[in-house]
Chain A
Amino acid sequence: MIAVRHVSKRYGATVALDDVSLDVGPGTTHVLLGSSGSGKSTLLRVVLGLVDADAGEALVNGVAVTSGARRHLVGRVGYVVQEGGLYPHLTVGGNVSLPGEAVGWPRGRIAERVRVLTELVGFDTAMLLRYPAELSGGQRQRVGLMRALVLDPPLLLLDEPLGALDPIVRADLQAELRRLFAALGKTVVLVTHDVREAVLLGSTITLLRAGRVVQQGTFAELARKPVEPFVTEFLVAQAPPPELREYF
C-alpha cells in the first residue's frame, strides 16, 4: 500500500530524513515513533506529497508521490492533524462537507455521508452547527477524523492526532481509534511520540531518531531484541516509575 524507498530530505544544514525506507501493508496500522525532530512528521508529509524528497521516492498504491503529482491521492488518503486542523470560519458541518464539495459531489450525497459519519463518531446532529471554537479538544479531533473519512479513503495518515489532549480524553480517544481502525479496515500510518499509543494502536512500529530509522518491527521485537541501547532507553523513558508499577 505504502512503500518508501531510501528517502532523504535536508533543510539547509539540518538532516530531516536520512535514507529512510518503509513498507506498510494493506489493513495494518503502522506507527512512526520518535521524539520531536526525529523526522517522523516529515516522513508522513513526504508520503502526502506536501514535501518533496531530495532523494528516494514514496509510492502509494505503486504510484510515486510528488508535490506536483498529488491528484491521484484525492479520495485515497485521509489526513488528520493535531487539534483537527479545522477551518475556524466553517461549522462542523461545513468542515466535514469540504472533501465532498472539492470532488463535486451533489449536496444530497454529501449530507448523507455527513450523517453516517456523525453517527460513527457518536455525535448529536446539533453538533454540526457548532464552530470549532465552541468545541472541546476531543470533539475537534473527532471532527478532523470525520473530515478525513468522508471520501472513504483506504489509507489514513494521522500526525500526532491526540497530541494536544489531556490524559483522560486522550486515553478515551485512543481506545476509540483502535475500535474504528479495526471496524473500518483502513491502512493507517500514525505519527506519535507516545509509546503507550504506539503499543495500543500499532501492529508495527518504526522508531526514528534524527532522521534515521533505528529499528522497525512489532513492539515485542523492539522491547525484547533492541538493536541498540537507544531503543530500550526510549521505551523505558515513558514507562511508569518503579515505585508506581505495583499499582498498574
Chain B
Amino acid sequence: MHAAGLVALALAIAVPVHAAGGVRVGSKSFTESYVVAEIAAQVLEATGEVSVERRVGLGGTGIAYRAVAHGSVDLYPEYTGTISRAILKDASIDSVEAIRAELLARGLTISDPLGFENTYALAVRADLARRLGLERISDLARHPELTAAFTSGFLERDDGWPGLRRHYDLRLAAVRTIEHALAYQALASGTVDVIDIFSTDGRLSRSGTVVLRDDRRFFPTYAAVLLARTDFVERQPRAWAALERALVGRIDGGAMTRLNALADLDGRSARQVAARFLGREVTDAEERARLVRELGTLTLEHLGLVAAALALAVLVGLPLGILAVRSTALGQAELMAVGVLQTIPALALLCFMIPLLGIGTLPALVALFLYALLPIVRGTYTGLATLDRQLLEIADVLALAGWRRLARIELPLASVHVLAGVKTAAIWTVGTATLAAFIGGGGYGTLIVRGLALDDATTILAGAIPAALMALLFHGVFELIDRLLVPRGLRLVMSRPR
C-alpha cells in the first residue's frame, strides 16, 4: 500500500519548518499574557535580527509550561508565584534568584521582573477609602461593619480569603459570593464595600476604586517575568538582551493596568496595545486588514488539519474496522479501545500529546486523528457486520475471496455505513479542530481562544462562523461523495418503499 507514503506526506505538511534564526514566542490565553508576549514579539522584530513566530493563546499554565520545557516555544510571560507553586511545586522558592537556580536544571531561566505584579488584591470604593482612611488591608480590621463579595475561587483557596482573614484577623459583617464580571458594578453601586480583584485588572484604571496595600505581605508575589529556554538565551544572546532592555523594570502595575484596559475595555488588539506601549500606532484599518489576511491563513490551517487528520483516520480506521469484523475477540478489544479514546476530553487528549510531540500542528493532528477513528472504525464494522448473510453465502459458493470479495462485494454493500462514519468524523473534526489552538495547532480556534481571552465577541465570531461554515461545507461535500461512492443500485434499493 501507499499508506506509509501518505502518512509521511501528511506529517511533512503538518510540521512547520523551523527557521534557524527564529524565535517562538508563546503566551497563555488571557489578555495580559497576550499583550506582554506581543510586546516581546515586537521588540524582537524591531531588532531586525530574528524572525518571530507567535504561538500564543496556549491555554493555561500546564500547556504553556510544557511548551517551553519541551522546546515548542522559546519563551512566554509567566509569574514568579505561579512558577514556584504550579511548576516547581514549592512555595518556599520565591525569590527570582532561587527560582532561576531551580529552573537551570530544567534547561530554563527567567528574566528579571518586568515591573508589575498580578496577584489577588482587595479593592474598595475611592470615596469610602477617603472617608474611612483605608489604605492598607490591616485598616479593614478597624471596620467590622463593612461588607464584602468575593469570587468563589478566592473564597475557597487557602491563599485567598480563609488565609487572609486569619493572617490579618479580619471580621467583616457579611461575606458573599459574586461573579467576577459583576463585582465592579456591585462595588460601584454600594451594594458591597470590599471585593477581590487581580491587581492589574484593566477596570481598575477606569473605576473609582482603590487597591489596599498588602502591608503584612500575605499574598504571594506574582511578579511578571519572561520564562525562557536557556538554549535560546545562549543561542541568541543579543535578542535576549534586547528583550531585557525593553521589558525588565519597564512595565509597572499602573502601566499594565492601562494596557489591559485598552485591550479589554476599548477593544484594541494585542498588537495595537503592544505597539502603543512601544510608542507606535497600529490603526483599526490596518488591524482589520490583518484579520482578513489572518483568516485566510487560518482557513488553510484548519482545512489542512481536518483533511490530514481525516485522511489518516480513513487510512487506519478502514482496515481496523475490517479487522474487527474478521476476528471477534480482537474486534471487541479494538472497538473498546477507540471507544475509550473518545471518552477522553478533547482538551485533555491535546495536553497528553505535548510531552510526546510538543505543541503545534503535529500533536493537534494526532489528537484529531485519534478522535476521528471511532466513527470510522464503527461505521466500517457495523456496515460489514450487518451484511445480508445470504449474499455472503453466495460469495462463498462463487469462491469469491480475499481482496476481490472485499472490494467487489463487501465494501460496496457496506458503503452507506462506512461513509456515514466518515461523514460524522469529518464534521466532528471540523468542530474539535478549533481546540487545536490551545496547543498552538492553529486554525479557526486561534480566533476563538483569543476572543474568549479578550472578551471580544467579534473575534470569537470571526473564528466560530467560518468553522460552522466549514462544517456545512464538509457536509455538502460528503453528500456529493455519497452520490459518487454509494453504488446506484444500492441507492435504488434505499429509495424504494418497502
Contacts and interface: CB of A to CB of B under 8 A. Distances in A.
Contact of A132 (B393, B404, B409, B489): B489
A74 interface: yes
Interface string B399-430: 11000100011001101000000000000000
B398 A134 contact: no
Contacts of B400: 98, 102
Interface stretch (B53-61, B453-461, B490-498): B490-498
Interface residues of A, number: 24
- In the complex, which of the residues B393, B397, B488 has the most CB atoms of chain A within 10 Å of its own CB atom? B397
Nearest to A103: B399
B468 interface: no
A50 interface: yes
Contacts, number: 60
Given A102-B404, A103-B399, A85 B390 contact: yes
Contacts of B329: none
A79 B400 CA distance: 14
A86 to B, nearest CB: 9
A150 to B, nearest CB: 9
Q: What's the dominant secondary structure at chain B's contact region?
A: helix
A87 interface: yes
B394 A81 contact: yes
B19 interface: no
A89 B399 contact: no
A24 interface: no
Nearest to B411: A89
B487 interface: yes
Contacts of B489: 87-91, 131-133
Contacts of A79: 394, 397
A59 B457 CA distance: 78
Interface in A91-112: 91, 98-99, 101-103
Given A89-B412, A101-B408, A50 B397 contact: yes
26 contacts: A50-B397, A71-B399, A74-B399, A79-B394, A79-B397, A88-B413, A88-B487, A88-B489, A88-B490, A88-B493, A89-B488, A89-B490, A90-B489, A91-B489, A98-B398, A99-B398, A101-B404, A101-B408, A102-B398, A102-B404, A131-B488, A131-B489, A131-B492, A132-B489, A133-B492, A133-B496
Given A85-B394, A98-B398, 18 more contacts: A48-B397, A81-B390, A81-B394, A87-B489, A88-B487, A88-B489, A88-B490, A88-B492, A89-B413, A89-B415, A89-B487, A89-B490, A90-B487, A102-B399, A131-B488, A132-B489, A133-B496, A134-B492
